[in-house]
Structure 1
Amino acid sequence: MEDKKKIKIYYGLLITLVVFMGVSYAWFRLKLTQTNSNVIGTRTCLDASLTEKTSKITLSDAFPISDEDGLKQTPFTFTLKNNCDSYVKVYITIDSTYRESTDAAYLKDSFLKVNLSSKGTTDGSSVLLGSQNLTELEGTNKGYILVTTGLKANEEKSYDLRVWMDGETSIADGLNKNWEGKIVVVGVAANEPATLRETILANNEVKTPLTAPGKEVSAHVLEDVDSQTSSADFSQKYYVTYGTGWEANGTKFNLTGTAVTSDTYANSYSSLVGKYLTSSWLGNAGSSTAGTMVTTTNLKSVYYVLSATSSSFTYKPISSNKNTTEALLASAEDDYGTSYYFRGAVTNNYVEFANKCWRIVRITGDGSVKLVLHNDNTSGSSSPCASSNNSTSTAFARYSGSSYTSAFNSNYDDNAYIGFMYGATGASDYASTHANTNKSTILTNLETWYTNNLASYESKLADTIWCNDKSTVSGGLGYGTNDTNYGVYNRLVSTKQPTLKCPNDNNGGKLSKFTVNDTTNGNGNLTYKIGLLTADEIAFAGYANGSSNTTTYLHENATSDYWWSLSPGYFNGDYTSVWRVGSGNLHIDGIEVNVSSNFGLRPAISLVSSTTVTGDGTSENPYIIN
């Protein structure tokens, strides 16, 4: 009796909208019609209304076409509105009449492309109907789920629907076929979903970091680390120092069971497998004099040899001696209040948004959530966060064709070029040098990518501070060709104390604090709500200057190239340098490396504090923005 009552309540909460569609297909000709017979059935207080903005879709003399051409079609536009005073979860589906039929007269759902997008956009995924998940409808029918969303009390959402024959459909698969189906919108009473901020905090206990951000890399064990290979071509003559194990010495390492190979590397390389070295370069890990042992104590890292040949060896660098894997949510103060940041080998901070995959970096003090790109998804996958779509460079933005590397600035011979925006070169004062009058090369490329990918999502993005810290230290003048160290250099190299607060510029102003419209907290100099991560944020995520770490969540999909941060480093009298990430390291120094070098462009954005989601944040079930 109790089970029957539950079933009645469940079906009593359904709202069903039926819109009939028909497709006829003969010799690559498609005609799709949309009738006006929209019927909404409501039961209980839940009440929704739909308004058609176009009466039908007609494709005359059509044929299988590409997705690009399919998206150019005139859409069927409709608006859903929740007229009740409670939240409704909504599934927009297509019920294919002959989904289970084996009759050869009907076109299979796997040859029909569908795109359902927010009105006025093509922001939805173009998918094969037959590849979508099914949900139970009334009776025995099932519908392919196109969109899962929600409507707050009195909220309305408008959509554009486009349907076309997939361009890969062959004559044999499509000739003289028919297809028929209907759109079914199902609304189910539900609790209003928590905001992304609330969901993150509910799913993660806030903890104290196991390691000190900026001073240490996030904790990891040997199994977590990516292997690397080092050449031994020029190190054949060295007698190599090794250890059979290691022990902690504060935050550093002492090798145990130390010895020196009895012969040169050329004749003893196989004996090093399974041993720990003091360096990945044999010139530092050994000596050309037999029996001479290099220093084996107070080491920042140790290097475990996996395999070796006469010309190279493969190893894993270990830079943490905590003997555990760190993956947690911790807190620190930022410009708005208390921020919560992810650190280490985190696996539950994936977000699907704008047909791309992102990783959550931190919750800002105002409740917005900062993301960094994880998969640009140029392939158009319907599951951009799935591990099957990973590669070494998908975290970088293709801002022009296949190009994803960019200079920070095209010139490098003046203090001005450390700027996300910059002022006059050759100036004799700080204010003129760092005035935000010229866009950097990397900002220009970010704006191009934003326009092509995120412009239609502007309302979902928060106007948070993007910190390009132009403050100087140690008496640095910060203009012309004067040697100058900037604030982040001091924090990550000298004091090893990163911060999520953006300092004022040397004159007490907001030259470093980039925003779009917010001139209370920032400078209002940006055109779009997009930026890059700071080196401080990268340090909080698990990196540290001078130590390798391939185990943080930022490492995945970003290994083919170095990638830029937003943080100035220094001007050394010859060139400007900005912090970058690569090979597991947070770098500032480098021979002939400066702001004109081409490194990966990895955008970051912030979602508004009211953002709600479904999912659990894993790569296979990422947070999906409602």
Structure 2
Amino acid sequence: MMITYDMNTKTLSIAPVTSKGTKCYLYFDKETALKDTILANSKVNTGTPDFSRVATTDEGLYKAQDDWGDSYYFRGAVTNNWVKFAGFYWRIIRINGDGSIRLIYNGTSAKATGDSTMINSSQAFNSRYNRSEYVGYMYTMNKQHGNTTNSSIKEVLDGWYHNELLNYANQINTEGGFCGDRVSSNWSSQPNGEIYYEAYERLYDNKIPTLKCSNSLDLYTVSGSSEGNKALTNPIGLITADEVAMAGGVYDEINTSYYLNNNTDYWTMSPFYVESSTAHMFYVRSNGSLRNIWPDSELGVRPVINLKADATIKSGNGTSSTPYEV
């Protein structure tokens, strides 16, 4: 028996039908959007959490604005934000304002810890530290927001994307971006004093993180995006220090319980400050706290990507033993 569908008449034909009154039943597989499943399976809180305190329990989802609209981010010791995609395990950071889903790499197994949760455990952000430009994911000498030269860590991420994710590019969002916020009020390439970047003020001084990128030249996007600097070749980046804070991390406060802690040091893409021509970046310490370090230091690399808003799940409930499979 063969079933054919006529696009013009929008009718189904079944042949051969050998006897009158034959009944046929058609069953359709229902595709479920990942973002809808995430929202259905998670507690969505109202209000804003206290970002001066570490989040050590499962706090579910909170809502905040990003550059595209309403974003829903996971916070604390959540256990239902696991995804298996492209043969790797990931944790969901948030649903972006455009509906895409932001993921951070977590290894080749749900049981991975430490170095196994990273693609490289000993990588410099940039090869030098003695100019302000070296806090940039991309940079241009003598410019605060330049984007002509790749950082060392971007080269690593681009290579990994080409080798591991290129065959899955049709499922990866190319609209969203990655914020390397280099805004400061007193920028200089080689300052004698100190330069405090806005992330320093938000996270070290005031404990008020944001998902918005205040300067479009610091929002790293690919050429097809409607926002940002359109400087990326591949839609891949790193987590921001603001996203770490919203997930439950606090500067210099231990938190071994929230989902971003992997018991080892790894990079964010957020500048901290420059002191006497020595640049500093935010990173996540092995005890889960946010700290700062020179960009030529060797830490771990955890790629961040965005799945398309229409990504559907084949199976799973988001737990480590049964992750959402895309």
Indicate the SS of the match to 1:370: strand
Residue 524 of structure 1 is matched in structure 2 by 230
| 1:489 alignment partner, SS class | helix
Q: Which runs of 5+ in 1 are unaligned?
A: 1-40, 49-83, 87-187, 221-324, 378-383, 399-403, 505-509
Indicate yes or no: 2:320 matched with 1:619.
yes
Classify 1:392/1:85 alpha carbon distance in 2 versus 1 (closer, same or farther; 3 Å).
farther
Which of the numbers 406, 412, 436 marks the counterpart of 2:123? Answer: 406
Unaligned segments of structure 2, at least 5 residues: 13-25
Aligned to 2:17: none
Q: CA deviation at 1:618?
A: 0.8
**SS of residue matched to 1:198:** helix
Is the alpha carbon distance of 1:623 and 1:326 closer, same or farther for their aligned partners in structure 2, counting shifts above 3 Å?
closer
Residue in structure 2 matched with residue 578 of structure 1 by the alignment = 281
487 and 478 in structure 1: CA distance in 2 versus 1, 3 angstrom threshold: farther
Provide the TM-score with structure 1 as the length reference.
0.47
- Structure 2 counterpart of 1:602: 302
Find out whether 1:391 has 2:113 as its counterpart.
yes
117, 121, 132: which one aligns with 1:415: 132
TM-score, normalised relative to structure 2? 0.88
Seq. identity, %: 37
- 1:176-215 Cα distance to aligned partner (Å, 9 max, x none): xxxxxxxxxxxx82353221111101111211478412x1
Partner amino acid for 2:73? Answer: Y
- Kept in 2, the 8 Å contact 1:515–1:529? The answer is yes
Contact persistence 2:268–2:283 (CA under 8 A): yes
Partner deviation per Cα, 1:452-488 (whole Å, 9 max, x = no partner): 100111111112111000101xx42242235211110
The separation in 1 between residues aligned to 2:191 and 2:303, in whole angstroms, is 30
* Residue 568 of structure 1: aligned partner: 271
Report which of the two structures shows the higher radius of gyration computed on alpha carbons.
1
**Alignment check: 8 A CA contact 1:543 1:584 kept:** no
Say yes or no: does 1:196 pair with 2:38. no
Q: Tell me if structure 2 keeps the 8 A contact 1:421–1:435.
A: yes
Q: Distance in 2 between matches of 1:609 and 1:445?
A: 26
The answer for the alignment partner of 1:294 in structure 2 is: none
Aligned counterparts of 1:410 and 1:416: Cα–Cα separation in 2? 12
How many residues matched? Answer: 307
Instruction: Give the 3 Å change call, closer, same or farther, for CA 587–206 of structure 1 in structure 2.
Output: closer
Question: Which amino acid is 1:422 matched to?
Answer: Y
Q: CA deviation at 1:523?
A: 0.9
Q: Is the 1:470–1:511 Cα contact (8 Å) retained in structure 2?
A: no
Deviation at 1:393, TM superposition (A): 1.8
Structure 2 residue aligned with 1:465? 177
Matches within 5 A, 1:135-534: 189-208=27-46, 211-213=49-51, 215-218=52-55, 220=56, 325-375=57-107, 377=108, 384-385=109-110, 389-398=111-120, 404-424=121-141, 427=142, 432-463=143-174, 464-472=176-184, 475-482=185-192, 483-504=194-215, 510-534=216-240
Q: Describe the shift of the 1:481–1:210 C-alpha distance in structure 2 as closer, same or farther (beyond 3 A).
A: closer
Task: Write the letter of the residue equivalent to 1:197.
Answer: K
Q: Give 1:85 deviation, angstroms.
A: 8.8
Mapped contact 2:177–2:235 kept (Cα < 8 A): no
Cα deviation 1:496-549 (Å, max 9, x = unaligned): 100011111xxxxx2201001245311110000100010000111110112110
Structure 2 CA distance for partners of 1:471 and 1:619, relative to 1, 3 Å? same
Aligned-pair CA distance for 1:366: 0.6
CA RMSD of superposed structures (Å): 2.1
Which structure has more relative contact order (CA 8 Å, sep 6+)? It is 2
> Shift of residue 395 of structure 1?
1.3
- Contact 2:62 2:72 survives alignment (8 Å): yes
